[in-house]
């Protein structure tokens, strides 16, 4: 029954803090995931019987596993973004991933500044909810009772 707990979650979401969490996530963690997927290793994986004295934290296999995990997270993140309404998905992508100015987003989407800001904030809250369901990443903050 624990898997259905999210359906009956009666806690009140702290939207301002959730928005901050999502923005911080895209400023830090998202870029780390991108960087990790772009790391190239010069060595090939060797599954021979030769024992090598290297740190297990730096082995090629460990790096490859981390890269695969990062790619899966990025795929899930992009699927969550694509599941949003088109304006919200564009606003979130342009502002938090591509770091475009609001004036540029206004020109592209033909919406006013306040609508863009509202869309970004709404997208952040919806994105956090969807991401929590799709992955083990929880960016949602709750108000203290």
pLDDT digits (tens, 9 = 90+) for 102-128: 999 999 999 999 999 999 999 999 999
> Is the model more confident about 90 or about 64?
90
Note whether residue 2 is domain-resident.
Answer: no
**CATH code of the domain covering residue 58:** 1.20.140
Among residues 141, 145, 142, 143, the alpha carbon closest in space to that of 22 is found at 141
Note whether residue 140 is domain-resident.
Answer: no
Q: The domain containing residue 58 runs over which residues?
A: 12-134
- Which residue(s) pair with 111 in the sheet? none
Note whether residue 126 is domain-resident.
Answer: yes
Note whether residue 41 is domain-resident.
Answer: yes
Low-confidence winner among 38-42, 72-76, 96-100 (lowest mean pLDDT): 38-42
What's the total number of domains in the chain?
1
> Is the model more confident about 24 or about 60?
24
Q: Residue 90 in contact with residue 108, Cβ under 8 Å?
A: yes
pTM over 0.85: no
């Amino acid at each position: 029954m624990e898997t259905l707990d999210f359906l009956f979650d009666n806690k009140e979401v702290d939207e301002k803090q959730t928005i901050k969490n999502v923005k911080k996530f895209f400023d830090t963690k998202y870029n780390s995931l991108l960087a990790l997927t772009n790391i190239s290793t010069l060595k090939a994986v060797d599954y021979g019987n030769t024992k090598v004295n290297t740190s297990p934290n730096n082995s090629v296999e460990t790096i490859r596993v981390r890269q695969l995990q990062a790619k899966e997270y990025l795929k899930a993140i992009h699927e969550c973004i694509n599941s949003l309404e088109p304006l919200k998905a564009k606003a979130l992508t342009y502002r938090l991933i591509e770091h475009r100015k609001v004036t540029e987003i206004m020109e592209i989407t033909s919406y006013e500044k306040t609508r863009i800001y509202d869309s970004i904030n709404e997208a952040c809250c919806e994105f956090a909810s969807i991401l929590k369901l799709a992955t083990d990443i929880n960016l949602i903050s709750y108000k203290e009772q």
